[in-house]
Amino acid sequence: MWFGDAEVFAVILINLLPHREMARQRARQMFNISVAFAAVLGVVIALVAYLGYQGAVTMQQRRNDYLSAEIRKLDEEIKEVASLQQEITALKARQEAVENLQADRNMPVHLMNETVRQLPDGVYLNSIKQENKNVLISGVAQSNERVSELLRNFSRNSPWITRPELVEIVATTVTLDSKEQRRANNFIVRVQLQRASDGAPTAKAKAESAVRPAASQGA
């Protein structure tokens, strides 16, 4: 074809390849790449989460081990403290036993002193028998009132003698000389010995009971 002086050639390109199939292949490749990337990303995320979880578990296990070690140390210290407390208790018991033995050794002396001190006029003793803390006192009194006074003295005024009890009283006749005889009473009294430390609460209670009436009278 001629157009004046210029010669023009028109070339028409015709694509004979299956372009639709190639487009589908490219789309499939992109999808596969996306799936593979998502899978890899999921694996990475799961691995990071797993490592984080394992780190947290390891850290907690270390804390648990530390706490267990500290608890074992405390248990050992508690055992040592308990052992020390047992030793202290045993030492206190031994000390108390020694003190009680010393106090018991002096009890007969206190018994004689208290008996003489609390003995009212008109009362004479024949014998004193002690068995452990129980004491039997036998004697002669001019009257029943003298025996009652002796019991009152033992119950109120003595820190070493407690729980006086009249066992027996029998009327009798006492010969003073060849011409004179008088009526008297043979008696047996039972008392119990106590340490001064054991009688301290009783003495305190007696003091408080003596203060209360005075306070009420003052009011």
Provide the domain count of the chain: 1
In a domain, 100, yes or no: no
Residue 165: give its domain's CATH number: 3.30.1360.100
pTM summary value: 0.45
Mean residue pLDDT across the chain: 76
Q: What is the DSSP letter of 160?
A: S
Structure tokens at 187: 């008696």
Rounded to whole angstroms, how far apart are CA atoms 146 and 169? 12
Rounded to whole angstroms, how far apart are CA atoms 48 and 52? 6
pLDDT(137) > 50: yes
CA 47, chain centre distance (Å): 54
In a domain, 159, yes or no: yes
Q: Which helix (H) or strand (E) holds 129?
A: strand 123-131
Name which of 3, 17, 10, 139 is nearest 150 in CA terms: 139
Residue-wise pLDDT tens digits, 142-175: 888 888 888 888 888 777 888 888 888 888 777 7
Q: What number is the average pLDDT over the span 39-66?
A: 89
- Domain hosting residue 181, numbered range: 107-199
In a domain, 86, yes or no: no
Question: Strand order of the sheet with strand 134-141?
Answer: 123-131, 134-141, 181-193, 161-175
With beta carbons less than 8 A apart as the criterion, state whether 123 and 140 touch. yes
Q: Which helix (H) or strand (E) holds 187?
A: strand 181-193
pLDDT(129) > 50: yes
In a domain, 62, yes or no: no
With beta carbons less than 8 A apart as the criterion, state whether 135 and 145 touch. no
Q: Which amino acid is at 130?
A: Q
Structure tokens at 46: 């799961």
Name which of 118, 121, 95 is nearest 135 in CA terms: 118
In a domain, 17, yes or no: no
In a domain, 162, yes or no: yes
pLDDT(192) > 80: yes
Confidence of residue 135 (pLDDT cuts 50, 70, 90): confident
The residues, any chain, with a CB within 8 Å of residue 108's CB and separated by 6 or more, are 130
